[in-house]
Amino acid sequence: MRRRTLLRLLPLLLVLFIPSCGKKPAVAEPFSFIVVDDLHYAGAADYDSASAPDERTLRTIRQTGQNFIPFMNALKEQALSFLPKPAAILSCGDIVHGGVSDPRAQFSSFFAAYNSVAMPVPLYNAMGNHETAGEGMQPAYDESFLPFMSGEAGRQLADRNFSLDIGDSHFILLDSQPPERTGGDHEKRIFELMDRQWRWLENDLETNKYKAHIFVFGHPTIWPVNGGDVWYVYEPQKQREFVDLLLKYNVRIYFGGHEHVNSVVCYENGAGRKLVQMVPDSEIPLEKEEIRPLVRDYTVENVAAGGGSLWSANLRELVSSYRERIGYCRISHSAAGNFIVSVEGPKVTVRMFEAFSRQPLDQYEFTAGSSGETQFSYDQP
Ligand SMILES: [Fe+2]
């Protein structure tokens, strides 16, 4: 047993004793980074056909077989050719689909596929609910992803909550899954930080408050865009505190996932500070979806419709309470791909790329003002 434990810890031990390994280069500005979410890797061999996977899982397996390697190769091409040069890929969770009888085999399968692409930049993931979907997923994630990301960073990342620096920017990746969370789609799903994680976040923000930019990544969204469960959906007061904490430290962009819809929502606090929530939606469908009208109005009907979920009433209240302060909303149910975020001094530009396209669909600019205010503009069809 001890020998097996030692073997499992071997990748982490290697990282500890070889601190200079990893793909993380010394990065000078300007630089860029790539953002994805909800890749939902599901290799066909990871699922036991005798257990009759549900339709969603069967579709996800087909999508993985058709799109995962081509999409990773498209990201690799972006990582090699985009200017300013990308320094990392940040994933907002649900990087694997889960719900398997052998979680370690699914993570091994994911890494075999991902590593076959030889991505030239490091990959970091904020854990999503599908990384916890099923018995044994969380320990398997810790045994595989934490050593992998430690290897990418060239230093030990021992906790699912972690932060790192690129240039003069600070990146915070949050673990939104409380310990009792088991994933899946049929529970009262909770996305929250444990007390120690909240204190860690406060401390990390305070320690890095003089960085040029602080970017935060998590799996759930802060504000709903597609009827899904969000951070602190059952605790509106705590949800406000979470938003205020990010604004206090001038976090301008929160990157999330989970809702599976390409979206940009800008919250204005009334004192010149803005927090923009951005979701690329990287679940690439089997066929190009029909173009649906953009959603521009942040209303209960548009983003929190439907009453079937356990959190639907909470969601409607949340949207009603924020509606007046959502100054910009763009939700596209037809787009899926990734962001590339360029950082050039005080200016941050986010470009949305649909999968396999070299032309940005739209772009957003953020500029830091001298007294903390945020200029936010956009260029889109
Ligand atoms: Fe999710």
Q: How many angstroms separate the alpha carbon of residue 219 from the centre of ligand 1?
A: 7
Q: How many angstroms separate the alpha carbon of residue 129 from the centre of ligand 1?
A: 5
Q: How many angstroms separate the alpha carbon of residue 311 from the centre of ligand 1?
A: 15
Identify residue 373 by its one-letter amino acid code.
Answer: E
Q: How many angstroms separate the alpha carbon of residue 223 from the centre of ligand 1?
A: 14
Query: For 8-56, how does the pLDDT look when each residue is reduced to its tens digit (9 = 90+)?
Result: 544 444 444 434 446 766 677 899 999 999 999 999 999 987 778 899 9
Q: How many angstroms separate the alpha carbon of residue 228 from the centre of ligand 1?
A: 9
Residue 209 has pLDDT above 80, yes or no: yes
Nearest to 41 by CA among 118, 161, 128: 128
Q: How many angstroms separate the alpha carbon of residue 131 from the centre of ligand 1?
A: 9
Query: For 331-342, how does the pLDDT look when each residue is reduced to its tens digit (9 = 90+)?
Result: 999 999 999 999
Q: Is there a contact between 262 and 97 (Cβ–Cβ < 8 Å)?
A: no
Q: Is there a contact between 37 and 257 (Cβ–Cβ < 8 Å)?
A: yes
CA dihedral for 326, 327, 333, 338, sign (positive or negative): negative
Q: What is the pTM of this model?
A: 0.92
Q: How many angstroms separate the alpha carbon of residue 69 from the centre of ligand 1?
A: 21
Name the token pair of 103.
């979680």
- pLDDT for position 267: 97
Query: For 112-123, how does the pLDDT look when each residue is reduced to its tens digit (9 = 90+)?
Result: 999 999 999 999
Q: How many angstroms separate the alpha carbon of residue 254 from the centre of ligand 1?
A: 16
Domain that holds residue 139: 2-379
Q: How many angstroms separate the alpha carbon of residue 217 from the centre of ligand 1?
A: 13
- pLDDT for position 162: 97
What average pLDDT does this structure show over 226-234?
A: 93
- Count of domains for the chain: 1
Name the token pair of 224.
């709903």
Q: What is the DSSP string of 290-345?
A: PP-PPB-S--HHHHS--S-STTHHHHHHHHHHHGGGEEEEEEETT--EEEEEEEET
Name the token pair of 339.
């962001």
Residue 381 has pLDDT above 70, yes or no: no
The protein residues having their C-beta less than 5 angstroms from ligand 1 (an ion) are 94, 128-129, 258
End-to-end alpha-carbon separation of the chain, Å?
59
Q: Is there a contact between 164 and 150 (Cβ–Cβ < 8 Å)?
A: no
Q: How many angstroms separate the alpha carbon of residue 334 from the centre of ligand 1?
A: 19
Residue 1 has pLDDT above 80, yes or no: no
Q: How many angstroms separate the alpha carbon of residue 369 from the centre of ligand 1?
A: 34
Nearest to 229 by CA among 258, 253, 256: 258
Q: How many angstroms separate the alpha carbon of residue 37 from the centre of ligand 1?
A: 9
Q: How many angstroms separate the alpha carbon of residue 42 from the centre of ligand 1?
A: 14
Q: How many angstroms separate the alpha carbon of residue 84 from the centre of ligand 1?
A: 30
Q: How many angstroms separate the alpha carbon of residue 30 from the centre of ligand 1?
A: 32
Residue 4 has pLDDT above 60, yes or no: no
Q: How many angstroms separate the alpha carbon of residue 97 from the centre of ligand 1?
A: 9
Q: How many angstroms separate the alpha carbon of residue 161 from the centre of ligand 1?
A: 17
Q: How confident is the model at residue 132 (pLDDT cuts 50, 70, 90)?
A: confident
Q: How many angstroms separate the alpha carbon of residue 203 from the centre of ligand 1?
A: 27
- pLDDT for position 186: 53
Q: How many angstroms separate the alpha carbon of residue 190 from the centre of ligand 1?
A: 11
Residue 171 has pLDDT above 50, yes or no: yes
For the chain, give the mean pLDDT.
Answer: 90
Query: For 60-111, how does the pLDDT look when each residue is reduced to its tens digit (9 = 90+)?
Result: 999 999 999 999 999 999 999 999 999 999 999 999 999 899 999 999 999 9
Q: How many angstroms separate the alpha carbon of residue 184 from the centre of ligand 1?
A: 9
Q: How confident is the model at residue 368 (pLDDT cuts 50, 70, 90)?
A: confident
Q: How many angstroms separate the alpha carbon of residue 146 from the centre of ligand 1?
A: 19
Q: How many angstroms separate the alpha carbon of residue 191 from the centre of ligand 1?
A: 10
Q: How many angstroms separate the alpha carbon of residue 269 from the centre of ligand 1?
A: 27
- pLDDT for position 285: 93
Q: How many angstroms separate the alpha carbon of residue 60 from the centre of ligand 1?
A: 13
Percent of the chain with pLDDT over 70: 91
- The CATH number assigned to the domain holding 216 equals 3.60.21.10
Residue 317 has pLDDT above 90, yes or no: yes
- pLDDT for position 13: 46
